[in-house]
Amino acid sequence: MRYLTFPQLTQYSDWGILALRVMIAAVFSTSGFNHLKAPRRRAEGLGMNIGFVVFLGLAEFLGGIAMLLGFLSQWAAIGFILIMLGAIWMKVFVWKTGFWGDKSMGWHYDLIFIAMNLAVLLTNGGNIALFGHRF
Q: How many domains does the chain have?
A: 1
Helix crossing, 39-46 with 13-37: angle to 10°?
100
Return the pLDDT at 7: 84
pLDDT at 131: 63
- Let me know if residue 38 belongs to a domain: yes
Asked if residue 117 belongs to a domain, the reply is yes
Supply the pLDDT for residue 132. 55
Q: Decide if 60 is inside a domain.
A: yes
- Segments of the chain with pLDDT less than 50: 135
Question: By C-alpha distance, which of 99, 117, 95 is closest to 108?
Answer: 99
Q: Give the integer Cα–Cα distance in Å for 126 and 129.
A: 8
Q: Which of 98, 134, 102, 115 is nearest to 14 (CA)?
A: 134
Asked whether residue 18 is domain-assigned, the answer is yes
The pLDDT of residue 19 is: 96
Domain containing 72 equals 14-123
